[in-house]
């Protein structure tokens, strides 16, 4: 499985080393941010200027959660646009709207799909372990439904989306929403999702697993899951759910050179077997985070366009 040649060439020419993992979550976040700041201007695509509205949503029993709404245009009185909640990736412990790549993708998808992208700035582990981020996501969904008219949103055309660990949160949110009574969700978009937190990473089936990766994933899970947490709980590992009925249609993106690509593949199969409409796309030659580098990779650009097309289905 050779990596995308254009992406490899671009990364090599930049000469920016990947951030070294650390047991200090603050240093880990800083290193991840500095890496993206160094490479994204050269390898990623900037987002358009779009209207942005920031809100803070109360979450009973947990910290309030900031939600940033990216609009394709300024909301007008009486307008009602589809809305898609978005959860960024980062191993549950890093990432955020201050990352240029996250903000650019949210703005571009809002503008090109004509939807409101509601980016949920969930609290990070280990300071705020499971289920904080999931409960914040559910509170954000409730808020969007409740305040839809004031936000210029259509409460009948709501989607959820997420990347990597954010894909875990998005998938878990669809299960939690169904089990709590069910707001009408029309779509879920899961990009390189991490959906099974029970497996030994060393037993993944792609052959690229290293001791460093095993240690890194173990560290992230130790930060995210409190002691004694059940890793088979579907809200922790959505792939371990035994009932997939009642979930929204799904669009799932995996990357060929991603050690966790099997999570997305198996989840697509599980949804399909349960009668849920699902489409799956594999990004040939790309690693786990390769979809971010749309300037350097035609495959990444094509994936971005496919996700915009999926978001446009919220208008149907």
55 is known as an active-site residue:
no
Alpha helices in the chain (DSSP H): 5-14, 25-43, 100-113, 132-146, 148-151, 165-179, 211-224, 261-273, 298-312
* Tokens 């993106």 found at: 253
Question: 85 - beta bridge partners?
Answer: 118, 160
Q: What contacts 72, CB < 8 A, 6 or more positions away?
A: 50, 81, 110, 111, 113, 114, 115, 116
Tokens of 202: 């060393």
Q: Which of 93, 121, 164, 237 is catalytic?
A: 164
The percent helix, strand, coil of the chain (3-state, each to 5) is 40, 20, 40
Contact in structure between 19 and 93 (CB atoms under 8 Å): no
149 is known as an active-site residue:
no
258 is known as an active-site residue:
yes
Q: What contacts 247, CB < 8 A, 6 or more positions away?
A: 174, 175, 178, 185, 188, 271, 274, 276
Q: Which of 4, 258, 263, 297 is catalytic?
A: 258
Q: Which of 4, 99, 288, 297 is catalytic?
A: 288
* Residue 54 C-alpha from the chain's centroid: 19
Question: 68 - beta bridge partners?
Answer: 54, 119
Point out the residues that are catalytic: 164, 258, 288
């Amino acid at each position: 499985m050779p990596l995308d040649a254009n992406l490899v060439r671009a990364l090599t020419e930049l000469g920016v080393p990947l951030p070294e993992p650390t047991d200090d979550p603050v240093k880990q976040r800083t290193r991840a941010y500095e890496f993206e700041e160094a490479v994204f201007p050269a390898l990623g695509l900037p987002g358009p200027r779009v209207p942005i509205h920031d809100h803070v949503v109360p979450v009973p029993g947990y910290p309030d959660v900031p939600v940033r709404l990216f609009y394709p245009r300024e909301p007008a009185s009486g307008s009602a646009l589809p809305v898609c909640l978005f959860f960024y990736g980062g191993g549950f412990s890093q990432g955020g709207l201050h990352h240029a790549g996250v903000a650019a993708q949210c703005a571009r998808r809002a503008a090109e799909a004509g939807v409101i992208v509601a980016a949920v700035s969930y609290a990070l582990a280990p300071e705020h372990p499971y289920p904080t981020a999931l409960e914040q996501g559910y509170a954000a969904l409730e808020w969007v439904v409740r305040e839809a008219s004031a936000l210029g949103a259509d409460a009948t055309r709501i989607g959820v989306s997420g990347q990597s660990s954010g894909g875990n949160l998005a998938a878990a949110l669809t299960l939690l929403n169904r089990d709590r009574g069910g707001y009408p969700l029309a779509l879920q978009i899961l990009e390189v999702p991490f959906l099974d937190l029970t497996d030994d990473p060393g037993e993944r089936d792609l052959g690229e697993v290293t001791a460093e990766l095993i240690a890194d994933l173990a560290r992230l899970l130790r930060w995210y899951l409190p002691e004694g947490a059940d890793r088979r709980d579907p809200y922790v590992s959505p792939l371990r759910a035994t009932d997939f009925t009642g979930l929204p249609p799904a669009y799932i993106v995996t990357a060929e050179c991603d050690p966790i690509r099997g999570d997305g593949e198996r989840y697509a199969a599980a949804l399909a077997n349960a009668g849920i409409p699902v489409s799956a796309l594999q990004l040939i030659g790309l690693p786990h985070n390769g979809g971010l580098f749309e300037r350097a990779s035609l495959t990444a650009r094509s994936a971005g366009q496919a996700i915009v097309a999926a978001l446009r289905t919220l208008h149907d």
